[in-house]
Amino acid sequence: MTSSRRALIAVAAGAALALLGCPRRARDAAAPGDGQPTLAALGHEVGLTFPATARLLGVSRERGIDDLVRFKVELRRADLAAFLAGAPVPPDAFEPGEGGLMGPDQGFWNPSRAASLRTGQAIHEDHRTLNIGIADGGPGTVFLYIVEHGT
């Protein structure tokens, strides 16, 4: 085998490994129904209870040194008070704006474009952090931006 052929094989092997992705961090993103967990399962995972009328709009995960799950939910405005009553973030802890809690926009995840976004945070004893954003949606609806991360 010639040295140029060995070099070509080495480059092709390196490219194939690069396409497989970085082992330190993996990203998964999908719209609901693409093999992703249900809203009830996500709520259980992060310690939130959603009303039956809530609708999951998208979910993504990052696995690495700190794991992260983020998902967006559409909720009837009439159900917001009951949702907040069971959430670990007190209603008066929400402040206007993103506050650095939501991360960058990506696909379904668009907190920087959300109308009247308010955010709050709860830090759990297990070194995990829950961030909740609430934004105005269409008539009678709000969007919830949920992010939980930690080691």
Rg (CA), the chain: 20
Tell me the residue range of the domain where 36 lies: 24-150
Predicted local distance difference test score (pLDDT) of residue 126: 85
DSSP string computed for 102-141:
S---BTTB-GGG-EEEEEEEEE-TTSEEEEEEEEE-STTE
Residue 119: what pLDDT?
96
Residue 6 lies in a domain: no
Within a domain: 31: yes
- Say if 9 falls within a structural domain: no
Domains contained in the chain, number: 1
Please determine, for residue 125, whether its predicted confidence score (pLDDT) is greater than 60: yes
Residue 93 lies in a domain: yes
pLDDT for residue 20: 33
Q: Is the pLDDT of residue 149 over 60?
A: yes
| pLDDT single digits (tens) 58-113 | 999 998 888 999 999 999 999 999 999 999 999 899 999 988 889 999 999 999 99
Any domain includes 7 = no
- pLDDT tens, 19-66? 333 333 344 455 555 567 999 999 999 999 999 999 999 999 998 888
Return the pLDDT at 10.
39
- φ, ψ of residue 105 in degrees (nearest 5): -65, 145
Residue 131 lies inside a defined structural domain of this protein: yes
Is 138 part of any domain? yes
Q: Which of 36-40, 138-142, 145-149 is predicted least confidently? A: 36-40
